């Protein structure tokens, strides 16, 4: 195993690594992204992503203990690794992966699909948290429409705890998502305050897509006008909305609860 030792922040490899970490445009141009942490790296590998190169902190990990297959392996000094690492507490591993895309043809629907549709979600942390929920409820797919951030964003990967790789995620336009949902007879439930019913008074045991909008202004008229049902969460205080990731968790688990009740009653 050939290992190249790096100690300078001026090294071209380190500069490229930092660009991939910080710039969405670079990740897109090179079709590469970075992952920090063994759990997330393992999740990506298990999902079929290919490692391009691996960096490790020489004071945390011994080269002989690395079992991840990669054509290029780099050892970093403690000071250099601390400059690159995204987290303060880390397992000493950073990997560069080749990007890949998922299309609707890769989605295998269950008998009663539960889909999460997200329109123009802005904050990577919220998107990552929703992906954790999607994994927890075993959603059939997450559809991200007109995204304002890319899935290679380190904040999304960190917040999702690898949920970026455990879920089936399709990035597309509103129109493409709507056409696919209609073609598969999946009802559209939009989360909105206007002209809506409380979620617990709505049948969510059917095949459905829960559609949620951006944190700042909610769903656009495109989805509002095409909804089969409009649902809301009670807000008993002075504020009129919850964090979008919290709302997603509440609605997804209600769908899960109703399905369990229906299955028991049958």
CA distance readout (Å), 205 to 30, 111, 234, 262, 263: 42, 11, 20, 7, 9
Q: Tell me what pLDDT residue 59 has.
A: 86
CB 110, CB 41: distance < 8 Å:
no
Identify which has the larger pLDDT, 196 or 70: 196
Range of the domain at 87: 3-98
For 160, the token pair is 């999702």
CATH number at residue 110: 3.40.1280.10
Query: Do 194 and 172 belong to one domain?
Result: yes
Same domain, yes or no: 159 and 36: no
- Rounded Cα distance between 24 and 171, Å, is 15
Confidence of residue 164 (pLDDT cuts 50, 70, 90): very high
Residues 217, 113 within the same domain:
yes
Q: What does the pLDDT average to over 101-127?
A: 95
Whether 121 and 67 map to the same domain: the answer is no
Average pLDDT, the chain: 92
Q: Is the pLDDT of residue 25 over 80?
A: yes
Does 3 have pLDDT greater than 70?
yes
Q: Report the pLDDT value the prediction gives residue 236, as an integer from 0 to 100.
A: 93
Q: Are residues 163 and 94 in the same domain?
A: no
- Look at the chain and report how many structural domains it folds into: 2
Residue 137 has pLDDT above 70, yes or no: yes
List the CATH number of the domain containing 15. Answer: 3.30.1330.30
The predicted pLDDT at position 90 comes to 61
* Same domain flag for 89 and 17: yes
pLDDT in tens, 41-90: 999 999 999 999 999 998 888 777 787 888 889 999 988 998 888 765 56
177 and 76 together in one domain: no
**Percent of the chain having pLDDT more than 90?**
79
Looking at the structure, do residues 17 and 81 belong to the same domain, yes or no? yes
């Amino acid at each position: 195993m050939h290992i190249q030792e790096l100690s300078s922040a001026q090294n071209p490899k380190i500069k490229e690594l930092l660009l991939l970490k910080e710039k969405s445009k670079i990740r897109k141009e090179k079709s590469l992204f970075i992952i920090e942490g063994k759990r997330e790296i393992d999740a990506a590998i298990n999902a079929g992503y290919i490692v391009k190169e691996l960096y490790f902190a020489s004071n945390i990990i011994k080269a002989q203990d690395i079992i991840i297959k990669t054509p290029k392996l780099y050892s970093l000094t403690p000071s250099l690794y601390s400059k690159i690492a995204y987290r303060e507490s880390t397992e000493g591993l950073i990997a560069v992966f080749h990007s890949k895309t998922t299309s609707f043809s890769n989605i295998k629907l269950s008998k009663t699909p539960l889909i999460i549709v997200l329109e123009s979600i802005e904050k990577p942390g919220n998107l990552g948290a929703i992906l954790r929920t999607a994994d927890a409820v075993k959603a059939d797919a997450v559809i991200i429409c007109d995204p304002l951030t890319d899935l290679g964003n380190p904040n999304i990967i960190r917040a999702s705890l690898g949920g970026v790789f455990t879920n089936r995620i399709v990035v597309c336009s509103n129109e493409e998502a709507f056409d696919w949902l209609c073609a598969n007879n999946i009802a559209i439930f939009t989360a909105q305050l206007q002209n809506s019913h409380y979620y617990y008074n709505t049948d969510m045991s059917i095949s459905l897509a829960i559609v949620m909008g951006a944190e700042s202004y909610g769903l656009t008229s495109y989805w509002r006008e095409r909804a089969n049902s409009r649902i809301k969460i009670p807000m008993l205080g002075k504020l009129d909305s919850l964090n979008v990731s919290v709302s997603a968790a509440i609605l997804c688990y209600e769908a899960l609860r109703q399905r369990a009740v229906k299955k028991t009653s049958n």
